Amino acid sequence: MGLDLRWPIGLMFTFFGALLTIYGVVTNSDPMYQLSLGKNINLIWGIVLLIFGGLMLIGAIRGSKAPPQA
Amino acid sequence: MQPIQLHWIDYTILLAYVVFILGIGWALARYMKSSRDFLTSSRSIPTWVTGLAFISANLGALELVGMAASGAKYGIATSHFYWVGAIPAMVFLAVFMMPFYYGSKARSTPEYLKMRFDQRVRFVNAFAFAVMTVATSGISMNALADLLHLLLGWKYSVSLWVCSVVVLLYVFKGGLTSAIYTEVLQFFLIVLGFAPVVWLGLEDVGGWSALKERLTGIASHPATLALGDKTFQSDAWTSAWKPLLAGSGNNPMGVDIFAMVFGLGFVLSFGYWCTNFLVVQRAMAAKNMTAARNTPLVAAIPKMLFPAIVILPGMIAVGLATLPNKEYRIPPPIISDANYSKAIDAVQNANPADMDAGVKAVHDALGAPIYSDKVSALITANAQHAETTEQIKAALYNSVAENDYNAVIPSLVQRYCPSGLLALALLALFASFMSGMAGNITAFNTVWTYDLYQGYIAPNKDDRHYFRMGQFVTVVGTLLSIVCAYFASHYSNAMDALQLVFGFVNAPIFATFLLGMFWKRTTGTGAFLGLIGGILTSVVFHALTLSVGDTPGIKGGYIQVVHTFQSDMAQAFWLASFAFSACFILTVLISLVTAQTKTDEELKGLVYSLTPKIKDHEQHFFLRPAVLGTILIIACVILNIIFW
């Protein structure tokens, strides 16, 4: 099939990661973080998702440059 | 549990997810040119994709919720479903069985049975499978809609229809490829959505060694968590094998070692992983033989680690519930507000001088088993200084001596997730249910179109016709699942009965496939009658046995109780063992006295001894299925030893 699955995965997780990271920064020290044991879990996990999404995107870009595998 | 409020950030993330998965369906629609594209992906998908889809399709059903429930009830021994059950079976599928499925060019596992035996065997398998997939996805959608109602207060019908229609749209557009692609996306969502919840839970309970310590305490007082009135050795929740070796009366599962290793590890697991078209279909969509064989092996790697995400939360919940300062309990079954207010009245009207009558009144009003010591403490406290109704309700909630283990996951999500992360955790739930539903729907439309419709109703039509039928039946299958979901919500007993029947039909089937693939003398008549004999054995076995605490009826023993098992699970494992053995022996005996109707030439590619051995020499040493499989088995043994 002509669709490299790494594109949608990479795009989606980068988007979620960016959203959570920004939301985490904006809501830093909000009392709701008592739930997550005082950690700004949105910021932390947003960065994790950004890294994951970014790796997928790098893979997709490299895949689109390399000649298609036999 | 009070429903959680979602914020704009949560809605944004949920909506974005829907846009992405529908986008995948639309992007793939232009590649859907024939029924093979739509129903079998025309065998074009890379291994890592089919591998992760293999796991995700199976993960759907009720695994996340159900395995956490088992983790709470049985502890680390639940991992047997992975390290004894799934992994060895997946390796066997990859190394020994996949060459015949893929090499025969069958489009489904029932079609393999037709090539190897005849139409009769195919029909039994295809028909039972088609009914089962629709019912399973209905049961699973029912569970999801209930869960969303509990967690978010969403209306049952709205959740049911919205989720089903989303799945329908992307499967209708992009067929099996779309289901497989979204399953991979969903795989990552499940892992990345639940990992932070598990991480926070583990940290809250004080880490792994603190958790083990809490669980050691629980083993000698399981009644404190309404886990039963027996006591167990201190390692019953923290070791996988020691409690099992101590006998069926000494582990919370109530299972003996033979039932575990032969019944679950061999018969049920191999029967599921090696013959169930829902999972095998993913591997059959791979782009070449090596990719097909490596699919279950790629899948086995995350599968092996999954207990950390699905079983651990249940154990964490039990650990938390034993720590008074954490103010956590495993949620009780849902009790109506009307009953709560009656019980609040009963507490307020109770006379502390006549405590027994007061406790009984509260018990009757609530309509659920209660811890009488907690209720009498509440009555005393209320008599000394009148408590508010909220306080009384909270105390009553904590006094219910019954747990709804399926609510463990939602309760942890509610406990640890602030807005933002909440959406991600919810997505993990959505993803797991949707991937399971899409898996069932795509397996259903293929088996319906090729095995039942083309096989019996309308053979010899042009491909365009079957393509249209595939799309049409995708809609029908989804609608039938929705009907099943409503049915399950109103008549849960009927659904239990239906699942029981699936159990009867599925238990012996692995013997049919095993003999068909590895013994060329097996005849069509032998396989057919052997399979029927195996199914009848299940029925008779069920009618003659019962498990402790059950009454004869739907749970078994309705003819006569010849043997009593320690648990339902032990009964199911032994039933499978008997059904498999009966099917195996009958198939062999009948085959020996009936004539083989297929020539050796016809059986080439279908039977082990008549098929040229696959040479993997062109593959890199580490990528050969046999080598990878061996590495996986060794890793699995190591995990079993670590958690011995």
pLDDT of residue A47: 94
Minimum-distance CB partner of A32 among B20, B31, B419: B419
Q: Determine the average pLDDT of the residues in B42-68.
A: 80
The Cα-based distances of B461 to B39, B358, B452 in angstroms read: 16, 74, 14
**Residue A68 maps to a domain:** no
pLDDT digit string (tens) for B224-237?
777 777 778 878 88
Task: Please tell me the distance in Å from B85's CA to the nearest CA on chain A.
Answer: 30
Instruction: Say whether A1 and B416 touch across the interface (CB within 8 A).
Output: no
- Residue B326, Cβ density class (10 Å: 0-12 exposed, 13-18 middle, ≥19 buried): middle
B464-467 contacts, C-beta under 8 A, 24 or more apart = B466/B35, B466/B39, B467/B32, B467/B34, B467/B35, B467/B37, B467/B38
Q: Which residues of B touch A (CB under 8 A)?
A: 9, 12-13, 16-17, 20, 23-24, 27-28, 31, 41, 44-45, 49, 177, 181, 184-185, 188, 192, 196, 200, 203-204, 415-421, 424
Instruction: Say whether B184 and A9 touch across the interface (CB within 8 A).
Output: yes
pLDDT of residue B177: 85
Higher pLDDT, residue B32 or B427 = B427
**Residue A10 maps to a domain:** yes
- As a whole number of Å, the end-to-end CA separation of chain B is 36
The two three-digit tokens of residue B601, written as one number? 């030439």
Nearest chain A residue (CA) to B185:
A9
Q: Determine the average pLDDT of the residues in B527-546.
A: 91
Nearest chain A residue (CA) to B198:
A36
Nearest chain A residue (CA) to B286:
A1
**In this structure, which amino acid lies at residue B12?**
T
Q: What is the CATH number of domain B8-24+45-322+410-490+613-642?
A: 1.20.1730.10
Which of B192, B198, B282 is the best substitution to test chain A (most A C-beta atoms within 10 A)?
B192
pLDDT of residue B451: 87
Distance, CA of B401 to CA of B555 (rounded, Å): 24
pLDDT digit string (tens) for A23-51?
998 888 888 888 888 888 889 999 999 99
Nearest chain B residue (CA) to A7:
B24
Is the CB of A41 inside 8 Å of chain B's CB atoms? Answer: yes
* A70 confidence band (pLDDT: 50, 70, 90): very low
For residue B62, which of B405, B308, B575, B461 has the smallest C-alpha distance? B405
Nearest chain A residue (CA) to B191:
A49
Tell me the torsion sign for CA atoms B633, B634, B640, B644.
Answer: positive
Distance, CA of B35 to CA of B468 (rounded, Å): 8
Statement: residue A69 has pLDDT above 60: no
For residue B56, which of B247, B239, B230, B309 has the smallest C-alpha distance? B309
**Residue A69 maps to a domain:** no
Statement: residue B22 has pLDDT above 70: yes
Distance, CA of B417 to CA of B430 (rounded, Å): 16
**Residue A67 maps to a domain:** no
pLDDT of residue B217: 81
Instruction: Say whether B181 and A5 touch across the interface (CB within 8 A).
Output: yes
Task: Please tell me the distance in Å from A57's CA to the nearest CA on chain B.
Answer: 14
- Cβ–Cβ < 8 Å for B55, B188: no
Q: Give backbone dihedrals phi and psi of B209, rounded to 5 degrees, phi first.
A: -70, -35
pLDDT digit string (tens) for B302-313?
999 989 988 999
Question: 3-class SS at B563?
Answer: strand
Minimum-distance CB partner of A5 among B9, B49, B420: B49
Give the residue range(s) of CATH 1.20.1730.10 domains in chain B: 8-24+45-322+410-490+613-642
* B430 confidence band (pLDDT: 50, 70, 90): confident
Statement: residue A68 has pLDDT above 70: no
Minimum-distance CB partner of B416 among A13, A16, A36: A36
Q: What's the predicted TM-score (pTM) here?
A: 0.88
pLDDT of residue B73: 86
**Residue A46 maps to a domain:** yes
The two three-digit tokens of residue B37, written as one number? 């594209």
* B195 confidence band (pLDDT: 50, 70, 90): very high
Minimum-distance CB partner of B421 among A9, A11, A42: A42
Instruction: Say whether B20 and A11 touch across the interface (CB within 8 A).
Output: yes
Which of A4, A23, A34 is the best substitution to test chain B (most B C-beta atoms within 10 A)?
A23
Which of A36, A45, A47, A55 is the best substitution to test chain B (most B C-beta atoms within 10 A)?
A36
Instruction: Say whether B185 and A12 touch across the interface (CB within 8 A).
Output: yes
Q: Determine the average pLDDT of the residues in B127-142.
A: 88
Q: Determine the average pLDDT of the residues in B37-49.
A: 79
pLDDT digit string (tens) for A7-21?
889 999 999 999 999
* A60 confidence band (pLDDT: 50, 70, 90): confident
Minimum-distance CB partner of A3 among B27, B415, B421: B27
Listed in sequence order, the DSSP H helices in B559-614 are: 568-593, 600-603
Instruction: Say whether B419 and A48 touch across the interface (CB within 8 A).
Output: no
Number of domains in chain A: 1
pLDDT of residue B526: 92
pLDDT of residue B1: 62
Statement: residue B521 has pLDDT above 50: yes
Listed in sequence order, the DSSP H helices in B335-491 are: 337-349, 355-366, 372-384, 389-399, 408-416, 421-446, 463-490
Chain B residues with beta carbon closer than 8 angstroms to that of A36 = 200, 416-418, 421
Task: Please tell me the distance in Å from B24's CA to the nearest CA on chain A.
Answer: 8
pLDDT of residue B572: 87
Give the domain extent around A57. 6-61
Chain B residues with beta carbon closer than 8 angstroms to that of A35 = 415-418
pLDDT digit string (tens) for B317-330?
988 888 888 888 88
- Residue B539, Cβ density class (10 Å: 0-12 exposed, 13-18 middle, ≥19 buried): middle
pLDDT of residue B284: 87
Statement: residue B61 has pLDDT above 80: no
Q: What is the mean pLDDT of chain B?
A: 86
Nearest chain A residue (CA) to B14:
A16
Instruction: Say whether A37 and B185 touch across the interface (CB within 8 A).
Output: no
Which of A15, A16, A33 is the best substitution to test chain B (most B C-beta atoms within 10 A)?
A16
Chain B residues with beta carbon closer than 8 angstroms to that of A4 = none
Q: Give backbone dihedrals phi and psi of B107, rounded to 5 degrees, phi first.
A: -95, -10
Nearest chain B residue (CA) to A39:
B200
pLDDT of residue B331: 86
The Cα-based distances of B441 to B36, B141, B175, B446 in angstroms read: 16, 12, 10, 9
Task: Please tell me the distance in Å from A66's CA to the nearest CA on chain B.
Answer: 16
Chain A residues with beta carbon closer than 8 angstroms to that of B421 = 20, 36, 41-42, 45
Distance, CA of B351 to CA of B359 (rounded, Å): 10
The alpha carbon of residue B565 and the mean position of all alpha carbons in its chain are separated, in whole angstroms, by 23
Longest Cα–Cα distance in chain B: 89
Nearest chain A residue (CA) to B422:
A42
Statement: residue B643 has pLDDT above 90: no
Is the CB of A45 inside 8 Å of chain B's CB atoms? Answer: yes
- Cβ–Cβ < 8 Å for B405, B174: no
For residue B292, which of B120, B100, B457 has the smallest C-alpha distance? B100
Instruction: Say whether A19 and B12 touch across the interface (CB within 8 A).
Output: yes
The two three-digit tokens of residue B555, written as one number? 């749970």
Task: Please tell me the distance in Å from A13's CA to the nearest CA on chain B.
Answer: 9
- Cβ–Cβ < 8 Å for B338, B96: no
pLDDT of residue B617: 67
Q: Determine the average pLDDT of the residues in B28-39.
A: 82
Distance, CA of B346 to CA of B337 (rounded, Å): 14
Minimum-distance CB partner of A35 among B9, B17, B417: B417
pLDDT of residue A3: 76
Distance, CA of B644 to CA of B635 (rounded, Å): 14
Is the CB of A43 inside 8 Å of chain B's CB atoms? Answer: no
pLDDT digit string (tens) for B441-468?
988 989 888 888 888 888 888 888 888 8
Higher pLDDT, residue B644 or B62 = B644
Is the CB of A70 inside 8 Å of chain B's CB atoms? Answer: no
Length of chain A: 70
Higher pLDDT, residue B555 or B2 = B555
Distance, CA of B360 to CA of B347 (rounded, Å): 10
E strand intervals along B38-128? none
For residue B417, which of B188, B199, B150, B148 has the smallest C-alpha distance? B199
Minimum-distance CB partner of A35 among B9, B27, B418: B418
E strand intervals along B143-247? none
Which of B170, B424, B426 is the best substitution to test chain A (most A C-beta atoms within 10 A)?
B424
**Residue A28 maps to a domain:** yes
Task: Please tell me the distance in Å from A61's CA to the nearest CA on chain B.
Answer: 17
pLDDT digit string (tens) for B397-407?
888 888 888 88
Residues 6+ apart with CB under 8 A from B57: B179, B183, B278, B279, B282, B435, B436, B438, B439
Chain A residues with beta carbon closer than 8 angstroms to that of B12 = 19
Distance, CA of B461 to CA of B70 (rounded, Å): 48
